[in-house]
Amino acid sequence: MGEAVPGKTRVRLRENFQRYFLAGLLVFLPVVITLWFLGWVIGLLDGVLDVLPAGVHPNSYLPFAIPGLGALVTVTLILFLGILTRGVATRRFLAAWENIFVKIPIFRGVYTAVQKLVQTFLGQSQNARQVVMIEYPRKGIYTVGFAMGRAWRELERTQDTQLVNVFIPTTPNPTSGFYLLVPTTEISPLDMTMEEALKLITSGGLITPNDKSRRRG
């Protein structure tokens, strides 16, 4: 009997240790991962300042480097450009600048593709994109993706059916993924916004949208 009590105590201590460790891990990991991601983004944006000449680079006249300065400059520049685009003269200037870009063979393909991708994901119109579910990568398994509009007619001609461009983002990094050509009959549209779908995908299904049917009720 004397040995049974210490044995039960060890079991209880082990169970408490596991319980508290897991509880702490649930608090610790989201904070660390979030800080790591923010640090990565800030470091990436800080690299924008590296394109400046040495004479005007902030680090050339500041006593020390300021982390996040590049991110601040980038956000300010984006806001400034957004304000400028409200003016008619600025829109004409940007249209002329874009016309120059699309005439350069080296940049035309990349610029046009990136521009359409950004407009599709960040634009206000939802007509060019739809959150969908398709059977992929094999029968009986489904995934969430974005229908990006009807496929090129030449691609449809080879299959004699109507196809849709579908982008399948990866988890947890949705900026990479797969481009699929899917028949319209094999696509199931979802009542979900782009933002909700991205949260679902990046979290691996842990962050789910609120039930819209219950909200309507």
Instruction: Tell me the whole-structure pTM to 2 decimals.
Output: 0.54
Q: pLDDT tens-digit profile of 50-76?
A: 777 777 777 777 777 777 777 788 888
191-195 average pLDDT score: 87
pLDDT of 69-91, one tens digit each?
777 888 888 888 788 777 777 77
Q: How far apart are CA 179 and CA 173, in angstroms?
A: 15
191: CB partners within 8 A, 6+ apart:
212
State the SS3 of 96-162.
Answer: HHHHHHCCCHHHHHHHHHHHHHHHHHHCCCCCCCEEEEEECCCCCCEEEEEEEEECCHHHHHHHCCC
Cα–Cα distance, 217 to 14 (Å, whole number): 47
Cis before 105? omega within 30: no
Tokens standing for 90? 């600025």
Domain extents in the chain: 130-209
